[in-house]
């Protein structure tokens, strides 16, 4: 299976076009108001038009209530719903059954004990292994922190896993070599400033990931 490359936290037409033109498999829109990458639902729908059919559209939420999830799915029609909060396994099972949309659950990792949490999400379609956010972090992801990828050597999850956390064009090749993920996800690693994507950095990241996978 080929490596999946996801560019997350997109908020402008130029960054969406850059991601798609570079060959990203997934583009992600963040629905979390405390994030510098947050976009309104209307804006995400507008941005998603140019990506639809060219890359999978991912909607990222953080402990969102059912009404919010319903609004996002009805308006955006995402190909994948990413849950990046403290949603328990039973929440994944419920949402997947109710909305019939594939789900990806993010799990923060700092040490080996955290890997057990990932194994509990047997109903997720994908697992996103991310660096565990510090206790004082304003948001659970997109913080630019990495973790020891060696923790994932021989790691087996009930669903295909993607890797995130502190990745950029300079280190994604090593991360792929060590962790052997089914995909990689980047946000802050392709930004000039928080929430401001750099089109050249997006292209460089995708190239580096593809070269490593090859």
Nearest one of 142, 139, 145, 179 to 163, comparing CA atoms: 179
**Partner residues linked to 29 by β-bridges:** 59
- Secondary structure of the chain: what % helix, strand, coil (to 5)? 40, 20, 40
3-state DSSP call for residue 119?
helix
Catalytic residue, candidates 8, 25, 168, 185:
8
**12-30 burial string, b = 16+ CB within 10 Å, else e?**
eeebbbbbbebebbbbbbb
Could you tell me how far CA 98 lies from the centroid of its own chain?
Answer: 22
Question: Hey, is 23 helix, strand or coil?
Answer: coil
The one catalytic residue among 25, 130, 168, 185: 130
8 part of the active site: yes
What residues are annotated to the active site?
8, 130
């Amino acid at each position: 299976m080929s490596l999946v490359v996801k560019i997350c936290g997109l908020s402008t037409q130029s960054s969406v076009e850059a991601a798609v033109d570079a060959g990203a498999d997934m583009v992600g829109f963040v629905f979390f108001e405390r994030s510098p990458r947050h976009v309104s639902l209307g804006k995400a729908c507008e941005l998603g038009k140019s990506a639809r059919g060219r890359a999978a559209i991912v909607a990222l939420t953080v402990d969102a209530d059912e009404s919010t999830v319903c609004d996002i799915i009805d308006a955006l029609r995402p190909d994948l719903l990413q849950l990046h909060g403290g949603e328990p396994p039973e929440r994944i099972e419920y949402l997947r059954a109710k909305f019939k949309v594939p789900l990806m659950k993010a799990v923060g990792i700092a040490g080996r004990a955290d890997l057990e949490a990932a194994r509990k999400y047997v109903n997720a379609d994908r697992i996103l292994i991310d660096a565990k956010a510090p206790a004082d972090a304003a948001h659970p992801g997109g913080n630019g922190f990495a973790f020891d990828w060696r923790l994932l050597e021989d790691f087996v999850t009930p669903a295909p896993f993607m890797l995130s956390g502190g990745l950029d064009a300079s280190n994604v090749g090593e991360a792929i070599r060590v962790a052997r993920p089914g995909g990689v996800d980047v946000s802050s690693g392709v930004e000039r400033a928080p929430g401001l994507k750099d089109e050249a950095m997006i292209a460089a990241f995708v190239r580096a990931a593809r070269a490593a996978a090859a």
